[in-house]
């Protein structure tokens, strides 16, 4: 697990959360990355990052107009990174016994001590049972950038697994995606053509 330093939890419910991060260019998770949020009661939530944005910062707007010193530029680049806001869509959770569930999380994070970027091992663990039904929650949510999110997520899965295993996982996930999007031809073609580009 790679810790992502976070500033604060902004909003949370059982389908996702938004948090403010103090991150720099190097440590920011990418769009579509899988993250883990350990809860206080030993459960862990798995999520996908679907939005990363910088809030409007009044001060920065002001500064931009003036002739500013090197130090102030560095200050803004290095220190003033709090207003990165990250939105995470939950895709499943793990109980204290280590069993992975692909259902809606039973309760949202209430206090946020830590959030971690998943490493390859964790990505494999979450997707190991071969069922990709959790994509349902992603595909059906109109607020999410579904096409790009699914593509980025699949890319991460492919990277985390190798050889035949990767091929099987990809196929199983595509079968799931196709089954869910059958009735929505335009979206189906958008998702599949995006995915085709990474294969």
Binding site for other proteins (CB under 8 A): 8-13, 15-18, 40, 59, 62-72, 74-75, 78-80, 110-112, 143, 167-168, 171, 174-175, 178-179, 182-183, 185, 188-189, 192-193, 195-196, 199
Nearer of residues 21 and 112 to other proteins, judged by Cβ: 112
Q: Does an H or E element contain 39, and which?
A: none
- Closest separation in Å from C-beta 15 to other proteins: 6
Helical spans, DSSP H, in 42-94:
58-65, 70-78
Residue 127 near residue 157, CB atoms below 8 Å: yes
- Closest separation in Å from C-beta 38 to other proteins: 15
> For residues 35 and 79, what is the distance between their CA atoms, to the nearest angstrom?
24
> For residues 49 and 23, what is the distance between their CA atoms, to the nearest angstrom?
14
Burial 130-158 (b: 16+ CB within 10 A, else e): eebebbebbbeeeebebbebbbbbbbbbb
Nearer of residues 11 and 121 to other proteins, judged by Cβ: 11
- Closest separation in Å from C-beta 150 to other proteins: 12
- Closest separation in Å from C-beta 178 to other proteins: 5
Query: In the 8-state DSSP scheme, what is residue 106?
Result: S
Nearer of residues 33 and 85 to other proteins, judged by Cβ: 85
Nearer of residues 91 and 122 to other proteins, judged by Cβ: 91
Nearer of residues 1 and 192 to other proteins, judged by Cβ: 192
- Closest separation in Å from C-beta 160 to other proteins: 19
DSSP 129-167: TS--TTHHHHHT-TTS-HHHHHHHHHHHHHHHS-HHHHH
């Amino acid at each position: 697990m790679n810790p992502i330093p976070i500033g604060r939890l902004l909003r949370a419910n059982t389908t996702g959360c938004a948090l403010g991060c103090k991150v720099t260019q190097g440590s920011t998770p990418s769009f579509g990355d899988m993250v883990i949020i350990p809860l206080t009661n030993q459960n862990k939530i798995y999520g996908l990052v679907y939005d990363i944005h910088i809030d409007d910062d009044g001060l920065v707007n002001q500064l931009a107009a003036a002739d500013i010193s090197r130090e102030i530029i560095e200050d803004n680049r290095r220190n003033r990174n709090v207003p990165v806001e990250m939105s995470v869509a939950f895709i499943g959770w793990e109980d204290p016994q280590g069993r992975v569930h692909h259902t809606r999380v039973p309760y949202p994070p209430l206090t946020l001590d830590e959030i971690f970027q998943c490493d390859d091992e964790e990505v494999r663990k979450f997707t190991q049972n071969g069922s990709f039904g959790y994509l349902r929650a992603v595909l059906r949510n109109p607020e999410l950038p579904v096409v790009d999110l699914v593509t980025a997520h699949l890319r991460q899965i492919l990277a985390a697994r190798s050889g035949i295993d990767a091929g099987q996982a990809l196929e199983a996930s595509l079968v799931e995606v196709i089954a869910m999007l059958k009735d929505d031809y335009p979206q189906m073609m958008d998702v599949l053509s995006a995915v085709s580009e990474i294969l």
